[in-house]
């Protein structure tokens, strides 16, 4: 896993068995918390209707997906158990996220940030694909929205963003520049791994004011 230089980090099993992006996601968060002495993580899921409406089809006919199976593999309790193992408080915002309710959703994110007593902490923005291009959708978070959350962080808190690859070969640098802008010009570290999940990175910045 690379964070400026190469780092060796123990990866963790997370929400989905075998999902390499989730392994990298929580390896990043745990390493950051250990390195910086953070006591908690707030994961903002940006949960959309697509996430809530998976189905099962047999020969083209829709069937009910067994809730017990869904809960076993997708249970957020698994993430909280990971937090207990690592002596971290894990908070999860799983309110539904809709494009036409973006402002109210970010209001809720900022409210939750202020409710967390463990400080310093990491606030992890986990949209489907990362920072929006020119036109945003439910799959993205905008520079303006990131900036709003950034302003609600206390000194010593960290903001972390999930970013998926695009077709632009310079996507890492371009999206990083947007994140720097959203965070008021703060220094931004980039976590990535070529052998775990080469198509995602995580941008991290510390609030120092």
Residue 155's region, left for phi above 0, alpha for psi from -120 to 50, else beta, is beta
For helices 77-85 and 20-36, the axis angle rounded to 10 degrees is 40
Task: List the Cα angle 157/130/32 in 5-degree steps.
Answer: 30
DSSP at 47: B
Dihedral sign from CA coordinates of 46, 50, 53, 54: negative
Sheet strands (E) in 61-209: 61-63, 89-93, 121-125, 130-131, 140-141, 158-164, 188-193, 197-206
What total of structural domains would you count in the chain? 1
Distance CA 196, CA 100 (A): 35
Supply the CATH number for residue 81's domain: 3.40.50
Question: Is the predicted pLDDT of residue 176 greater than 60, yes or no?
Answer: yes
For the CA atoms of 58, 64, 65, 71, the dihedral, rounded to the nearest 10 degrees, stands at -170
Show the domain range for 35. Answer: 2-206
* pLDDT tens per residue across span 98-132: 999 999 999 999 999 999 999 999 999 999 999 99
* pLDDT tens per residue across span 137-149: 999 999 999 999 9
């Amino acid at each position: 896993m690379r964070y400026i230089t190469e780092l060796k980090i123990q990866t963790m099993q997370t929400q989905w068995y075998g999902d390499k992006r989730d392994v990298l996601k929580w390896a990043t968060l745990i390493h950051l918390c250990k390195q910086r002495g953070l006591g908690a993580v707030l994961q903002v899921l940006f949960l959309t209707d697509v996430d809530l409406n998976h189905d099962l089809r047999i020969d083209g006919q829709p069937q009910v997906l067994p809730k017990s199976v869904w809960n076993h593999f997708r249970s957020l309790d698994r993430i909280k158990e990971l937090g207990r193992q690592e002596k971290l408080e894990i908070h999860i915002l799983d309110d539904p996220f809709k494009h036409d309710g973006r402002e109210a959703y970010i209001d809720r994110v900022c409210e939750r940030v202020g409710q967390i007593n463990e400080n310093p902490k990491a606030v992890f923005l986990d949209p489907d694909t990362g920072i929006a291009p020119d036109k945003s959708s439910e799959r993205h978070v905008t520079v303006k929205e990131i900036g709003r959350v950034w302003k609600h962080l206390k000194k010593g808190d960290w903001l972390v963003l999930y970013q998926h690859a695009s077709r632009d070969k310079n996507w890492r640098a371009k999206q990083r520049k947007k994140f720097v802008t959203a965070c008021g010009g703060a220094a931004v570290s980039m976590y990535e791994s070529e052998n775990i999940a080469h198509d995602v990175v995580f941008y991290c910045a510390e609030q120092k004011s």
